[in-house]
Structure 1
Amino acid sequence: MPETNPQSRTGLAFGGDYNPEQWPEAVWSEDVRLMREAGVTMVSVGIFSWALLEPAPGVYEFGWLDRVLDLLHENGIRVDLGTPTVAPPAWFYREHPEALPVTADGTRHAFGSRGAICHSNTHYRAAAASITTRLATRYADHPALALWHVHNEYGVPVSACYCESCAAHFRRWLADAHGTVEALNEAWGTAFWGQHYTGFDQVDPPRATPTVGNPAQALDYRRFADATMRENFVAERDILHRLAPGVPVTTNFMTALSQCDSVDYWAWGREVDLVTNDHYLMTDGRRTHVNLAMAADLTRSVAGGAPWLLLEHSTSGVNWQPRNPAKAPGQMARNSLSHVARGSEGALFFQWRQSRRGAEKFHSSMLPHAGTDSRVWREVVELGSTIGALAPVAGTRTVADVAVLWDWHSWWAQNLQWRPSEDHDARERADTFYEALYDRHLTVDFAHPEGDLSAYPLVVVPALYLMTEAAADNLRRYVESGGTLLVSYFSGIVDEHDAVHEGP
C-alpha cells in the first residue's frame, strides 16, 4: 500500500488549491514567492483543468502544467495533483450530450457548471480513463508529486442520474444485488400498490410519479448511485496505482455536510489510500466550534483512526450560503488547529489566490483580493508558522472515550418521503448527542453499527432508524459483554430494505 502521509518527510501539510490557469504566467513567480513567505508546503493543482490539458479530442497541452510543477518543486512545495474528471470539456459534451445527467422528472442538465456527469455513461468513463492515464504516464516520477487527487467532491452537486443508460445499469446492479426478480419483489414489498415485477427489464429508476413511489426502490437507487460513483473512482485509482506505484491516491470527502449526504463514506474510506476531507462551517446559529470537532471526529473515524488530511476549508467567508460573514480574528486558526488536534495531518484551503472571475470570486482565499496588506494574509502567514512548528505531532493518533453510531444508509432511509414527521431529523439527533458529549469533555469516535465496539465503555445510538439484524446482534453482544448502550428514539424501526421489523 502506498505511503499514506504525503508530508511524512516534512511534518504537517499547509497550503491550498492552486489554480494558476486563472492567471497570466507572469503572476506564478509572485505566487510561489508568497507561498514560501506563508510557509506553504503543499498545493492542489489541476482539478478543473481538463479543457486546458486536452483542448480537443486527443490533443494534449501539458507544457503549462510542466512549468507549474517544476516551479513548485524548485521552491520546495509538494503537489496534490488532480485528475480533472469532475469537469469534462465543452467539446466532450458536444460530442456526447447524453453524458449530461437527467433529473428524476426528465430534465437534462446543461453544460456550464461543474459535476454535470452521468456516471454510468460509457463515453465519460472512457474519456476519464484516458486523461487519467495521460497524466499518470507524464507525471508519475515528477519529484513534486506527493498525492493524487481523483475528481472532486463526488456527489456534489449531482450524485444520481435517471437517464436510460442509468436505467440499464441499475437493472444490472439489481440483478447482482438481489439475484432473482422474486427476491427483488420480496425486498421491495411490491405487493403493495400492485408494483409486482416479472422481469428486471420492467424496472426503472425511481423517476417522478403521481404520488410517493416505492421507498425501498428509492433506497436502492441511492445505493446504486453511490456505488456507481465509487466504481469510477476505483477505475481511476487503479490506473494511478499501476502507472505511479507508491504515490497515495485520494479524493476529497465532505463527511459532515448535508450537501453531500449521497455518499456512504464508510465504503469510500476503504478505497482511498489517504482519507481527506473538505469542511465549511454553516453560519446558521450552531455552536460552530462543536461542528468543527464533530466533522474532524467523523473524518478520523472514516479513516479507521489513522491520520487523515483537511484538504479544504476557508480562510474567511464562503460564497454559497444565504449569508456569508467573514471570520472573526483568530477564527481561521481555531478552525484549522481544531482539525489538527483531532488527527488531521495539516490544514489546506480553497483556494490560494482569490479568483477575479467565475462563480466563486467572493469565496475567501489565502491571498485575498486585498493582497498582502490585509488581516487575512497576516493570519495566513501566522498560521503557516504555527503549523510548521507542530511537525512533531504528524502521525500521532487520537484516542476516544465513547462511540456514536453513524450510518449513511439509515440516514438515506429516514429522509425518504412519508415518514412520521418532517420535524424529526436524524442529523439533528446526532448533533445533539455529540454536543452533549463534547460539553462533558468526552472525545468521540463514530462507528458503523456492525463495527467492533469492544474498545468503548459507552456507545450512543441517535435515531438509527434503519438497523440490520447484524447490527442488532452486534449491539446485543456489546451489552452482554458489559458495555453501556444508550439508544435514542426511532431506532431499530426497519431493516435494510426499509421494511418494518417483525415484532417479538
Structure 2
Amino acid sequence: MRNLAAPISPKLPVLMHGADYNPDQWLHDPAILAEDIRLMKLAGCNVMAIGIFSWAALEPSEGQFQFEWLDQVLESFRQNGIYAWLATPSGARPAWLAGRYPEVLRVGPNRVRNLYAGRHNHCFTSPVYREKTAIINRKLAERYGSHPAVVGWHISNEYGGECHCELCQEAFRSWLKRQYGTLDALNLAWWSTFWAHTYTDWQQIESPAPHGERNLHGMNLDWRRFVTEQTVAFCKHEIDAVKWANPGLPVTTNMYTLETLDYRKFAPILDVISWDAYPDWHIAQDNVKVASTFAFLHDMFRSMLHKPFVLMESTPSMTNWQAVCKLKKPGMHRLSSLQAVAHGADSVQYFQWRKSRGSTEKFHGAVVDHAGHEHTRVFRDVAELGGTLASLSEVTGSATHAETAILFDWENRWAVKDAKGPRNAGLHYEETVQDHHRAFWQQGIPVDVIGSEDNFAPYKLIVAPMLYLCREETGRKLEAFVERGGTLVVTYWSGIVDEHDLCHLGGFPGPLRKTLGIWAEEIDALHDYDLNGVFLLDGNPLGLSGRYESRQLCELIHLEGAQALGQYTDDFYAERPALTVNSLGQGKAYYIATRLGDDFLLPFYRAVAAQAGVARVLDSELPAGVTAQLRTDGSSDFIFLMNFSDKAAEVVLDGRSYIDLETNETLETVIPLPVDGIRVLKRDAAPLRS
C-alpha cells in the first residue's frame, strides 16, 4: 500500500487558491499592488505564482539587478497571509541577453536561427544561457530562499520545443555515441540501410529536418528522447541553482503541451508535479467528453509521483487562443475546478490574476478584469470557490488509491504518430486511450495513468491500448503481472515494434504473444465511412451479448490458446475472432482486435472490473454523465459526485453513512445533482488492501 501523502507545504497546509501574478507589468502604478492585495483577500486567494516572466524587470541590463519591487511584493504578501510560488524567469529572456549573445536563440528544424521574440525561444544546450540563468536563479535563491512568504520554486514555465543549432547537433551526436557506442550499432538500430542511408561518420548525422532526413523512424525517436533529456538536464541545472539555499523548499515546473517532451522524465527531479489545464467547455454541449478527457490528464499528472499535484494554471472564465473562446457558464467554474481537486490537485490556480493591458494575452481570462474591481460575475465565481476550498481543507494531502491503471507512454505516442500505415488518415492513439479511461470514469472507478517503466504490482487491472512500441522488458513485466493474478486488457496495434521502432520478428504482438495467446497476422484499415461489427458469442464468461459496431482498424488474429469471446460480423474475415481471453498462471489477458465504441467499452469494463475485484467509489449505478471520484487520508474517504450531463440527476447512495463536507449534513439515501452540480461527501474509510 502506498503511503498517504502530506500537504505540499507545511507553510500552507490547506488547499491552495491563487493565480499567476505579474506586478512587474504595473510598476508604473504603485496603487495597483495595494488594490491587488485587497482583492486577493476578498477572493479567498492564498498563493500567487510570481516572477514567471520578470527577467527584464529583475535584471534590466547585464549584471545590474533590481529586486526592490519584488521585495515590496513579497513583504506585502507576508503581512497579509499570502504566499508565493517564486519563479525562475528563464521562460522569456530579456532583449539585452539575446542581442549580446545570439547563440541563446533557438534554431528551427529549417536551420534558421530565430529572431528575438516570444517565449520558449532559447537553446537549452547553450553554455551562455545556462550561465546566465544560473546567475539570476542564484540571486533569487540568496535573497528569497528563506523568505517566509515563499512556499516553493516555480521552475521556468511550460518547458517545450526544440533547438537545432550546431551546439545541439554536437550534443545529439555525443548522446548517440553514449547510447550506441559504435556506428554499426546505430545503423542497425535505425535500419539505415533503407534507401542507402548508412552512416559512416558521426558528423554525417543531423537532427530531423523538413529538407533533410525524416524517414528513419529510429532516428526520429532518438531525437525526441534527446530533446527530453536535454530539457530535463536544463531544468535540473535551474533547480540546482536555487535548491541549495533552502533544501526543504519544494520545486515544481508547470507542464502543458504533450507534443515534444516526455514529462515523466521530469518527475524524479521534482518535489511536486504541476500542470496547466484549459478544457474547452461547452463545445457542442459535449461536456461529458471534455470532462472525461481532462479527468484522464489529471490522473496522468497525479500518477507521476502518486501524490497530490498542483493545478498551476486554469482560466476563471475563458482563454483567448482556442478556436472559439467560450465563457464558462454559471456553475462550470466551481465544477471544473473541483474536478481537479477530485482527481488529486491540492490547488486551483489561474492564468491570470489581473488582465494584461496589452500584448497577446490581453483578452485572456483573469480574476480581475480590465474594469479593475470585484463587481463582476467572474470575480464572484472565484470568491465563491475560495470559500468552498476553505471548507474542504480536510481533503488537503489526501491520496488517490487506484486498483486500475492505463498504460500511456510518450515513446509509444511518438512512434504511433510516426508510423506510415495502416491508417494515415489517423490512428487516434490518444483518443483511443481516453476512450478506455472514460469507461472507468463513467463507473466511478479511480484510475492511475502510468508508463511501462512504472511498477505494475499495486494494480489488479492494467489496460494497454495500442501498445505499438513494446519493449521485450515490458512484455516480460506484463506476462509476470498476469501470471501473478492480474487482469490485462490489450488492444489491436500492440506489440508491433521495439524501442528502436524496429518491427518485432516472429509474429505480432511480439513480446505479448504468449501472454495474450494469439497471433495477429494482418490488420485491415477501414475508411471513415466503413464499418464492421463484433458479435459476442453465447455463453462467454463475461456474460455479455449483442452486436457492436467497429471502426478504423480490424486485426485478423489466430487463437494460440486464447478463447474467442466475440467474432467479426462482416467482410472476408467474418466469424474470425475479434475479442479473446487467455488464462495464464493465476490471471487473465483480454485482447480487443478492433476499435469499438463507448457502447461496448462500458459494459465490457464493468464486467472485467467486477471479475478482477476492482472496487467502485460507490457501490451503485451512476446516471449518464455523472461520475464519482475518491480521495482518502486512511481514516476518511472524500467522495466527489459530479454531474457533467446537460440535465439534473440523482445519485442513489450505497447504504453507508455520508456527511456533506460543506454543510455537515448527514446523507444516507439519494443525492440530487443539478446541471453542473457537485457534492463533496465524507465517509469512514475502509482499510486499504496492500
TM superposition score normalised by structure 2: 0.70
RMSD of aligned alpha carbons: 1.6
Q: Which moved more, 1:409-418 or 1:284-293?
A: 284-293
Q: Which has the higher helix share?
A: 1
Q: 1:180 aligns with which of 179, 182, 195?
A: 182
Q: How many equivalent pairs are there?
A: 494
What amino acid sits opposite 1:459 in the alignment?
I
1:426 paired with 2:429, answer yes
- What is the distance in 2 between the residues matched to 1:138 and 1:372? 33
With over 3 angstroms needed to count, the CA separation of the structure-2 counterparts of 1:455 and 1:141, relative to structure 1, is closer
Alpha-carbon deviation of 1:186?
1.4
Q: Which moved more, 1:177-186 or 1:448-457?
A: 448-457
What amino acid sits opposite 1:94 in the alignment?
G
- What is residue 192 of structure 1 aligned with on the other side? 194
- What is residue 125 of structure 1 aligned with on the other side? 130
- What is the distance in 2 between the residues matched to 1:121 and 1:399? 42
- What is residue 248 of structure 2 aligned with on the other side? 246
- What is the distance in 2 between the residues matched to 1:139 and 1:212? 46
Counterpart of 1:230 in 2: which secondary structure? helix
- What is residue 491 of structure 1 aligned with on the other side? 494
Q: Is the 8 A contact 2:207 2:213 kept in 1?
A: no
- What is residue 351 of structure 1 aligned with on the other side? 352
- Deviations for 1:113-172, whole angstroms, at most 9, x for unmatched residues? 1111111111111111111111111111211111001110011xxx21111111011011
1:137 paired with 2:135, answer no
Alpha-carbon deviation of 1:417?
5.6
With over 3 angstroms needed to count, the CA separation of the structure-2 counterparts of 1:210 and 1:22, relative to structure 1, is closer
With over 3 angstroms needed to count, the CA separation of the structure-2 counterparts of 1:4 and 1:106, relative to structure 1, is farther
Q: Which moved more, 1:140-149 or 1:106-115?
A: 106-115
- What is residue 37 of structure 1 aligned with on the other side? 42
What amino acid sits opposite 1:221 in the alignment?
W
Counterpart of 2:346 in 1: which secondary structure? strand
Superposition pairs for residues 449-464 of structure 1, below 5 Å?
449-464=452-467
- What is residue 341 of structure 2 aligned with on the other side? 340
- What is the distance in 1 between the residues matched to 2:505 and 2:145? 55
Counterpart of 2:223 in 1: which secondary structure? helix
- What is residue 103 of structure 2 aligned with on the other side? 98
With over 3 angstroms needed to count, the CA separation of the structure-2 counterparts of 1:366 and 1:467, relative to structure 1, is same
Alpha-carbon deviation of 1:425?
1.6
1:13 paired with 2:11, answer no
- What is residue 218 of structure 1 aligned with on the other side? 220
Counterpart of 1:344 in 2: which secondary structure? coil
Q: Is the 8 A contact 2:299 2:448 kept in 1?
A: yes
Q: Which protein, 1 or 2, shows the higher relative CO under an 8 Å CA cutoff with sep ≥ 6?
A: 1
Q: Is the 8 A contact 1:279 1:312 kept in 2?
A: yes
- What is the distance in 2 between the residues matched to 1:238 and 1:391? 32
Alpha-carbon deviation of 1:319?
0.8
- What is residue 318 of structure 1 aligned with on the other side? 319
Q: 1:89 aligns with which of 88, 91, 94?
A: 94
Q: Is the 8 A contact 2:405 2:450 kept in 1?
A: yes
- What is residue 331 of structure 1 aligned with on the other side? 332
Alpha-carbon deviation of 1:354?
1.3
- What is the distance in 1 between the residues matched to 2:383 and 2:311? 18
Structure 2's unaligned 5+ residue stretches are 1-5, 508-690
- What is residue 33 of structure 2 aligned with on the other side? 28
What amino acid sits opposite 1:492 in the alignment?
G
- What is the distance in 2 between the residues matched to 1:176 and 1:129? 26
- Deviations for 1:289-340, whole angstroms, at most 9, x for unmatched residues? 212321211111112x211111111111101111110011111111111111
- What is residue 271 of structure 1 aligned with on the other side? 269
Q: Is the 8 A contact 2:187 2:198 kept in 1?
A: yes
- What is the distance in 1 between the residues matched to 2:246 and 2:58? 19
Alpha-carbon deviation of 1:8?
5.3
What amino acid sits opposite 2:247 in the alignment?
P
Q: Which moved more, 1:64-73 or 1:451-460?
A: 451-460
- What is residue 366 of structure 2 aligned with on the other side? 365
Counterpart of 1:148 in 2: which secondary structure? strand
- What is the distance in 2 between the residues matched to 1:244 and 1:8? 14
Identity %: 38
Q: Which has the larger radius of gyration?
A: 2
1:48 paired with 2:49, answer no
- What is the distance in 2 between the residues matched to 1:73 and 1:367? 21
Counterpart of 1:314 in 2: which secondary structure? coil
- What is residue 152 of structure 1 aligned with on the other side? 157
With over 3 angstroms needed to count, the CA separation of the structure-2 counterparts of 1:75 and 1:266, relative to structure 1, is same
1:112 paired with 2:117, answer yes
Q: Which has the higher strand share?
A: 2
With over 3 angstroms needed to count, the CA separation of the structure-2 counterparts of 1:62 and 1:249, relative to structure 1, is same
With over 3 angstroms needed to count, the CA separation of the structure-2 counterparts of 1:341 and 1:315, relative to structure 1, is same
- What is the distance in 2 between the residues matched to 1:270 and 1:27? 39
Counterpart of 2:488 in 1: which secondary structure? strand
- What is the distance in 1 between the residues matched to 2:174 and 2:68? 42
Structure 1 consecutive aligned stretches of length 4 or more whose deviation exceeds 3 Å? 7-10, 209-212, 282-286
TM superposition score normalised by structure 1: 0.95
- What is the distance in 2 between the residues matched to 1:9 and 1:154? 26
Superposition pairs for residues 64-83 of structure 1, below 5 Å?
64-83=69-88
Alpha-carbon deviation of 1:211?
7.4
Q: Which moved more, 1:4-13 or 1:192-201?
A: 4-13
Q: Is the 8 A contact 1:47 1:83 kept in 2?
A: yes
Alpha-carbon deviation of 1:6?
2.5
- What is the distance in 2 between the residues matched to 1:77 and 1:385? 15
Structure 1's unaligned 5+ residue stretches are none
